[in-house]
Structure 1
Amino acid sequence: MKEAELVFNPAPVIGHLVSTVEIAKLLIDRDDRLSITVLLMKLPFHDSMLNTYTQSLAASIPTERIRFVNLPQDNSVSYPRTNFLTLFIQNQKPHVKETVTQIMTRSDSGHDSTLLGGFVLDMFCTCMIDVANEFGVPAYAFFTSGAACLGLMFHLQTLQDKHNMDVTELKGYNTELAIPSFANPLPDKVLPSVVFDKDGGSSAFLGYAKRLRETKGIMVNTFMELESHAVQSLSDDATTPKVYPVGPIVNLTGETHVGSGGTHQKIDIMTWLDDQPPSSVVFLCFGSMGSFDVDQVKEIAHGLEQSGQRFLWSLRQPPPTDKFALPTDYGNPEEVLPEGFLDRTAEIGKVIGWAPQVAVMAHPAIGVCVALWVELHLREPVVWSTNSRMANELGLAVEIKMDYRKSDSPAVVSAEEIKGGIRSVMEYDNEVRKKVKAVKEESRKTLMDGGSSYTWLGCFVKDVMDNMP
């Protein structure tokens, strides 16, 4: 019986790493012939959440069929803020090659009968296809976002490479684009801002899409019942690799591995939520990389207060503008909040820093999650605005604001708009909340035996075994 080892290469971003570990666990649970090595890149600066999570991984997974290899940390290289992640990962190729060489040597020496079955790459790590080619094994991808976003990337890349269109010139046209993976036309204003970056961001973004086409197949963190149109459009495109909708990939427990400080924060947050009525709390959280300037923070605060709704707000401080860094917690959030805001809302709201996002979203007290368009401080392909548009298209969201860009600066979403959006969802028994509930139930079934994602995961395993060199 053939046994295969897969090398997973996740991006060094907490959300990407956590979901990569979860899909790895699903795979080894699904087939005893598989084993997985996860390569852990170390950023050249301190990221406490990422570091504490990676340190806890080996102890948190009681199986020898998943192992974690820390790649060497190199602090001697100075990276520009623009396209930091692209350049950083490019420089990891020698370390990845050395680690895979050791795997091959172990197998060739007869100490291990498992053969290298291929690479599974994050979208940011598609440059590692070159390493897979050197070893003569297939490269697959795990796309941590949805099928519609994957289709958007492929479509824009086709416009550039096949039709000689400069996609950066789409900015400001105020037009709607026919994107095959979207059932309805997509306003150009909701495209990721990196698409319009003439300083290298756009070319890097489309470069990821071009290289994703070279993979043998792409696992996508979605499921057929949620994105049937997008998945079908990708399947109908003969130029794209095979797509496996294997989601939703979530981790309800892994966020406890954030160090003692994070654990105490989580306990405090979850205890507060336990005291709130069911479906009564508005959760505001924009990911580990999301942050706002002071003007937008104040508008959010006023909107929350005027809505009168209970809220949990993960408020994070923007990083410095002169270097690549991640948002951090405020030492004193009162510095950026309206005067007296915390006192006036003490009975109904809680302002926090870091949030255990998945655990909070699963809590019965949460009624709605607010997502504003946000210009992240990473000059990398982020697709939050597009994801929000997709949620609206599926009937899973209410748009707060569509005027996403004014000149070259992010538009400030007003308190009145925020209040209106929150009330429109929270105060009525509307179709959005009914649809969200239905999709939530469907998502629980799809990974069970007989579900669509369960079936697609089996197809991926079969293809891996059939494609082994």
Structure 2
Amino acid sequence: MEKAQLVFIPAPARGHLVSALEASKLLLTRCHQLSITVLILSHSSISSKVHNYVESRRASSSTISNRLQFIDLPEDETESFSFSSFVERQKLHVKEAVLKITQSESSVDSPQLAAFLGFMLYVQKIHDEEKFDPTEFKDSNSELPVPSLVSPFPARVMPSAMLSKVWLPPLLYNARRFGEAKGIIVNTFLELESHAIEYFKMPPVYPIGPILDVASDGRSTHQEIMQWLDDHPPSSVVFLCFGSMGSFGEDQVKEIAYALEHSGHRFLWSLRQTPSVGLLPSPSDYEDPQQVLPEGFLDRMGGIGKVIGWAPQVAVLAHPAIGGFVSHCGWNSILESIWFGVPIATWPMYAEQQFNAFQMVTELGLAVEIKMDYRNDSGIIVNSDEIERGIRCLMEHDSEKRKKVKEMSERSKMALIDGGSSYFG
């Protein structure tokens, strides 16, 4: 085989960077003729955690392979909070960098699930051929016959970006480019998305997942959290965490607190403060979470629950005390929960997460619903009764969903071993 060069251009968000860099390590390990370059997009408003993650991986890249390099593109300091316009401004820098590396492109990498990729291509096709406008379906009860799904897709859980007049055009553009690719690498595995993967003929889809960074050592860096979990029985704690950009206003925080208290379940809650406006706004930790929690909540929950700031999610999900995960349904978070055999209660917020929630609850039967069509910009408050009902269902010890998640956990690991459905060599 001739030497080949692969270029990754991940979005400057931790979830995209993790999957891109973990996929890079796997590809370099399996294919010794391959070299990989990761282009780092940067904006002055991007959080320090993203910068720190990139720097930590850059520092360790020499131990991964001398065939992995990073190129920093010029930092964008434009005072624009539109991600789509940021991407447009980066195109020239990306083109110049890629032309220095290679003169051809043959594959595309997608951090999303295969079913969502099929959904994007379906929407793009009916938009171009039938003048379908997804932005008109925001509150619709219609269902769409998406070929990459077994179940009819309810328009009410259309991804937030597809309901935006600003975001829709670049999404459709991306879908058209996906259709031109010779192949698409997807962070998923056949046993999880067999229908969606088998649907693709042209361009073909190559599942190589689950690609995860599961080696994070949360015990050494977050001893207090891990020691607290050590004091609780197996599968007894519900973990609430809403991703690197997930947060709620004070009224919603109080409803979550009431639900946790009434449920009686032990809990570990990553509570973050709503950020100021930015390109990729990142929540911060509260100096004093009592300012948004119900009066006396922390005192009443002492020993039963723990409220924290940023959470070492992988280390927490790996802990045997965790019995359920209330999640925003980012694809990395879903794959991590499946890997560790922890069932999910879905509470999507932005991006394609509403679609992911539908996939997990309805299509695959691997999750329970709290609010599948929630959007963080809707202003809707999910009441404590709905949240409590979801938590109780999530934490049922002998439920069929819990058993299915445990089975899928084993399949996710088998997919990566020699001869597994995601193995290549």
TM-score (norm 1): 0.81
Is residue 22–residue 249 contact of structure 1 (8 Å, CA) maintained in 2? yes
Q: Secondary structure at the match of 2:409?
A: helix
Given the alignment of the two structures, is residue 196 of structure 1 paired with residue 153 of structure 2, yes or no?
no
Aligned equivalent of 1:384, options 350, 353, 360: 353
Q: 1:401 to 1:99 in 2, by over 3 A?
A: closer
Q: 1:28 to 1:175 in 2, by over 3 A?
A: same
User: What is the aligned partner in structure 1 of residue 281 from structure 2?
Assistant: 325
Q: Secondary structure at the match of 1:452?
A: coil
Give deviations 1:350-392, integer Å, cap 9, x for gaps: 111111222222222211111343444xxxxx11111111111
Alpha-carbon shift at residue 430 of structure 1 (Å): 0.7
Distance (Å, rounded) in 2 between the aligned partners of 1:85 and 1:46: 11
User: What is the aligned partner in structure 2 of residue 38 from structure 1?
Assistant: 38
Structure 2 runs not aligned, ≥5 long: 328-345
User: What is the aligned partner in structure 2 of residue 462 from structure 1?
Assistant: none
User: What is the aligned partner in structure 2 of residue 396 from structure 1?
Assistant: 366
Distance (Å, rounded) in 1 between the aligned partners of 2:36 and 2:372: 43
Kindly report which structure 2 residues correspond to 1:4-15, keeping only aligned pairs within 5 A, or say none. Answer: 4-15=4-15
Distance (Å, rounded) in 2 between the aligned partners of 1:318 and 1:206: 30
Q: Secondary structure at the match of 1:39?
A: strand
Is residue 375–residue 410 contact of structure 1 (8 Å, CA) maintained in 2? no
User: What is the aligned partner in structure 2 of residue 47 from structure 1?
Assistant: 47
Is residue 326–residue 347 contact of structure 2 (8 Å, CA) maintained in 1? no
Give deviations 1:315-374, integer Å, cap 9, x for gaps: 111222587622222222111111111111121111111112222222222111113434
Q: 1:231 to 1:274 in 2, by over 3 A?
A: same
Structure 1 runs not aligned, ≥5 long: 104-115, 117-134, 257-261, 377-381, 459-469
Distance (Å, rounded) in 2 between the aligned partners of 1:323 and 1:310: 36
User: What is the aligned partner in structure 2 of residue 172 from structure 1?
Assistant: 139
Distance (Å, rounded) in 2 between the aligned partners of 1:163 and 1:391: 29
Alpha-carbon shift at residue 250 of structure 1 (Å): 0.6
User: What is the aligned partner in structure 1 of residue 130 from structure 2?
Assistant: 163
Given the alignment of the two structures, is residue 334 of structure 1 paired with residue 290 of structure 2, yes or no?
yes
Given the alignment of the two structures, is residue 219 of structure 1 paired with residue 185 of structure 2, yes or no?
yes
Distance (Å, rounded) in 2 between the aligned partners of 1:217 and 1:201: 25
User: What is the aligned partner in structure 2 of residue 439 from structure 1?
Assistant: 408
Q: 1:95 to 1:304 in 2, by over 3 A?
A: same
Distance (Å, rounded) in 2 between the aligned partners of 1:176 and 1:204: 24
Alpha-carbon shift at residue 74 of structure 1 (Å): 3.1
User: What is the aligned partner in structure 2 of residue 466 from structure 1?
Assistant: none
Q: Which has the larger radius of gyration?
A: 1
Distance (Å, rounded) in 1 between the aligned partners of 2:108 and 2:370: 33
User: What is the aligned partner in structure 1 of residue 205 from structure 2?
Assistant: 243
User: What is the aligned partner in structure 2 of residue 64 from structure 1?
Assistant: 66
Q: Partner letter of residue 347 of structure 2?
A: W
Distance (Å, rounded) in 1 between the aligned partners of 2:176 and 2:273: 34
Q: Partner letter of residue 386 of structure 1?
A: F
Q: 1:66 to 1:52 in 2, by over 3 A?
A: same
User: What is the aligned partner in structure 1 of residue 199 from structure 2?
Assistant: 233
Alpha-carbon shift at residue 443 of structure 1 (Å): 0.4
Given the alignment of the two structures, is residue 286 of structure 1 paired with residue 242 of structure 2, yes or no?
yes
Distance (Å, rounded) in 1 between the aligned partners of 2:217 and 2:22: 12
Distance (Å, rounded) in 2 between the aligned partners of 1:428 and 1:173: 36
Q: 1:404 to 1:88 in 2, by over 3 A?
A: closer
TM-score (norm 2): 0.89
Q: Partner letter of residue 87 of structure 1?
A: S
User: What is the aligned partner in structure 2 of residue 467 from structure 1?
Assistant: none
Q: 1:332 to 1:296 in 2, by over 3 A?
A: same
